[in-house]
Amino acid sequence: MLGLIGGLVSGAARAGETRCWVDHGAVVVAAAFGDIVGDFIVDASTPNSRLHITRAQGDGIDATTVRRQLVVADEKIADFKMDVADLDLKTRVFDTSINGVIGLDLLRRYVVDISFSPCRMRLSHGMLMPIGGAVRIPLREIGGVATVRATISDGLQTRADDFAIDTSQPVSRIVGAALSRPAAPKSNPPTRIRALAVADQLFEQTSAEVSTTQNAIGTAVWAKGRLRMNVKAGWAEFTPARP
């Protein structure tokens, strides 16, 4: 199903909403890119939206970029560009066929709300009422990626850094870290962060992995509450789930 609910949030705000679900830690929604209709990952840590090359080739597309109308959460974006890319490494474990990834090039146009229980995604324009109990923190776009400041600790050392908001996988990623002990054979994820603090919330023993490219906070953290992002205004809000 595509967008399920459209309507006013408050005052002049306009919003479209759709059901989402979490598959292997990734937030997934139904969308239509031209006549390609199906499931797409939503990820603010991906700068440019991408169409899976397998689906593109199956649709007779042999270009490296494609422009078509994108329809998601009742929003219609004409002449939206997607890069054609091989997403097998990212999507082959999924329970359903993934057509592509909706990245920050779309998400920065809206105030984006992602609730996880039940899973819903809302794309809004205009002023919104504050979320009760939410903590607002600065959000910076760095290299086409939405990032927030977070602090991590292994119990002995503490470090603050910029972390991408990653809704495409459960584990968090740490650049410049070293494992204090070898990972257990076939362990998944390979290690855990002793403590991660973001939006005035402390998360202990969070699943993580060492990265060479990008710090990121995954859905093992974000799924513990409600996430709202306004990239243009430069803020994010996180509302912890009620016990």
Q: Is 46 domain-assigned?
A: yes
Domain boundary among 125, 160, 192: 125
Question: Domain check: are 146 and 121 in the same one?
Answer: no
Q: In the prediction, which pLDDT does 4 show?
A: 30
Q: Is 81 domain-assigned?
A: yes
Nearest residue to 194 (alpha-carbon basis) of 174, 214, 215, 211? 174
Beta-carbon contacts of residue 156 (< 8 Å; ≥ 6 apart): none
Mapping DSSP to helix (H, G, I), strand (E, B) and coil, where does residue 63 land? coil
Question: Domain check: are 47 and 99 in the same one?
Answer: yes
Q: In the prediction, which pLDDT does 13 show?
A: 53
Q: In the prediction, which pLDDT does 187 show?
A: 53
Residue 63 exposure: Cα atoms within 13 Å on the Cβ side: 8
Q: Is 130 domain-assigned?
A: no
Question: Domain check: are 69 and 173 in the same one?
Answer: no
Question: Domain check: are 121 and 139 in the same one?
Answer: no
How many domains does the structure of the chain reveal?
2
Q: In the prediction, which pLDDT does 12 show?
A: 43
* Cβ atoms 134, 76 nearer than 8 A: no
CA distances from 120 to 7, 16, 62, 226 (A): 14, 11, 34, 10
d(CA 238, CA 133): 9
Question: Domain check: are 31 and 102 in the same one?
Answer: yes
Question: Domain check: are 150 and 112 in the same one?
Answer: no
Question: Domain check: are 155 and 52 in the same one?
Answer: no
- The CATH number that applies at residue 189 is 2.40.70.10
Averages of pLDDT over runs of 10 residues in the chain (243 residues) are: 32 74 95 96 97 93 95 96 93 88 97 95 84 91 97 89 96 77 53 90 90 92 96 95 69
Which residues make beta-bridge pairs with 237? 136, 228
Look up residue 224 and give its two tokens.
């513990």
Look up residue 12 and give its two tokens.
């002049």
d(CA 231, CA 140): 7
Domain boundary among 100, 125, 150: 125
Instruction: Count other Cβ atoms within 10 Å, centred on residue 17.
Output: 20
* Cβ atoms 54, 88 nearer than 8 A: yes
* Cβ atoms 198, 163 nearer than 8 A: yes
Q: Is 19 domain-assigned?
A: yes
Domain boundary among 103, 125, 147: 125
Question: Domain check: are 87 and 58 in the same one?
Answer: yes
Residue 237 exposure: Cα atoms within 13 Å on the Cβ side: 19
Q: Is 155 domain-assigned?
A: yes
Domain that holds residue 185: 135-240
Q: Is 41 domain-assigned?
A: yes
Q: In the prediction, which pLDDT does 2 show?
A: 33
* Cβ atoms 92, 41 nearer than 8 A: no
Helix count and strand count (H, E) for the chain: 4, 19
Question: Domain check: are 16 and 106 in the same one?
Answer: yes
Nearest residue to 162 (alpha-carbon basis) of 179, 140, 177, 144? 140
